[in-house]
Amino acid sequence: MIYLDYQATTPLAPEAREAMLHWLGDDSFGNPHSPHRMGRAAAAAVDVARQQVAALLPPGGRVVFTGSATEALNLALHDSGDVLTFATEHPAVLDCERHARRHGFRFEVLPVSADGRADAAALAGQRPPQVVAAMQVNNEIGTINPIPAIAAAAHDLGAVMLCDAVQGYGRIAIPDCVDLVAISAHKIHGPKGIGALWIRDGVKLFPLIRGGGQEGALRSGTLSPALCAGFGAAAAVAAQRIEEDAAHVAMLWDAARDVLSRWTLNGSAEHRWKGNLNLRLAGLNVNRLISECRGVMFAGGSACASGSGRPSHVLSALGLDPAEAKTSIRLGFGRYTSREDLLSACRQIDAAAREQGV
């Protein structure tokens, strides 16, 4: 099996697995919010993890653990006021529109350029919102947005800058100019079921989940020391390996592009995370391709997460018509992908496409 779906989720790092196991043991299951020795040990592990996660984020803020990046983004946008965002954002942002409108807030979605990037100039002259939301690296096509320019334009409007950094955190630097950052452990070789929102000091938010007052009363609920420790260990490994991982991914990208040179790249070739190769080939039947290349785990570029078969909102935002969008595939690779496996997968995919006569 060759796993090429790194944008959906990443393999668990051995270091993260190891860090988690201890907190699943018979004498280490304490509640990190309990005052006794077991509780204090668990709380200390959570603190260490929080520092490890924060080490890849700007200074001057705090990390609030959540159940996912989806929850972190929902928390950031909960009753936050008027929102300006972009058409290629993740549904965790875009689907907050209905709730915002129901509460009387504006929620405007700005177009992106044909190469899939948000443009800070689109913010000029807009009615000032309370929040501007823009992602760092797109999950479907890998394009990198000009976050410093967008944050500067947001600040000119007096807005808070929310950055969905799920696909960028641990891979490229998070710019200092943002105010809120959503991240997820399972995209950086950590466990599923934990994310975080980084909040700049002074930014006021309203809790989504109320209860015991954990996480500074912003996110009630008992934390899992095992998930926190796994997230922290994954972040620490990412921090150590950030350059090595990027170089490995760049090498893989060149190798894959060579084999698939007749395929058309979706999104900017220049401004991108190279672990994401979203390609299209006119006339391709993607579902057939996926079922024929059984040993390769990759995604169709067009099907939305719910599998409804609707063309992807991201590819549509680039100006692709539904037929073109439906001929797209996404190959996602990274730290644990070998060149040999990637080349073998690309050759299988290209051969299966040729069998279709395309």
Minimum Å gap between C-beta 8 and ligand PLP is: 7
Options 39-47, 56-64, 94-102, 160-168: segment touching ligand PLP (CB under 6 A): 160-168
> Shortest distance, CB of residue 139 to ligand PLP, whole angstroms?
3
Catalytic residue among 96, 163, 228, 304: 304
Identify the residue among 19, 135, 289, 342 touching ligand PLP (CB under 6 A): 135
**Where would I find the beta strands (DSSP E) of 261-357?**
264-265, 276-280, 296-297, 299-300, 328-332
Angle between the 339-355 and 225-259 helix axes, to the nearest 10 degrees? 60
User: Least CB distance from residue 27 to ligand PLP, whole Å?
Assistant: 30
Task: Confirm if 111 and 88 have CB atoms less than 8 A apart.
Answer: no
Which residue stretch of 34-42, 162-170, 317-325, 335-343 sits at the interface with ligand PLP (rule: CB under 6 A)?
162-170
The span from the CA of 109 to the CA of 335, in Å, is 34
Establish if 164 lies at the interface with ligand PLP (CB under 6 A).
yes
Give strand ranges (E) for the chain.
Answer: 2-3, 61-66, 83-86, 107-110, 131-135, 160-164, 180-184, 195-200, 264-265, 276-280, 296-297, 299-300, 328-332
Residues 88-107 contacting ligand PLP, CB under 6 A: 90, 92
Instruction: Evaluate whether 146 touches 123 at the Cβ level (below 8 Å).
Output: no
Two tokens, residue 329: 């595939």
List of E strands, 221-287: 264-265, 276-280
Interface with ligand PLP, residue 13, by CB under 6 A: no
CB of 194 to ligand PLP, least distance (A): 8
Return the axis-axis angle of helices 225-259 and 37-54, rounded to nearest 10°: 30
Residues 16-75 that bind ligand PLP (CB under 6 A): 68-70
Taking CB under 6 A as the criterion, the residue among 85, 88, 139, 268 binding ligand PLP is 139
Cβ neighbors of 303 (< 8 A, separation 6 or more) are 286, 309, 310, 312
The distance of closest approach from Cβ of residue 68 to ligand PLP in the complex, given in angstroms and rounded to an integer, is 3
Look up 293 and say whether it is catalytic: no
Among 190, 195, 232, 332, binds ligand PLP (CB under 6 A): 195
Q: Is 245 in the site for ligand PLP (CB under 6 A)?
A: no
Stretch that binds ligand PLP, among 27-35, 163-171, 317-325, 334-342 (CB under 6 A): 163-171
Yes or no: say if 24 and 230 are a contact pair by the CB < 8 Å rule. Answer: no
CA gap 195, 99 in Å, rounded: 22
Question: Which residue ranges make up the site for ligand PLP (CB under 6 A)?
Answer: 68-70, 90, 92, 135, 139, 164, 166-167, 184, 195
Catalytic residues: 304
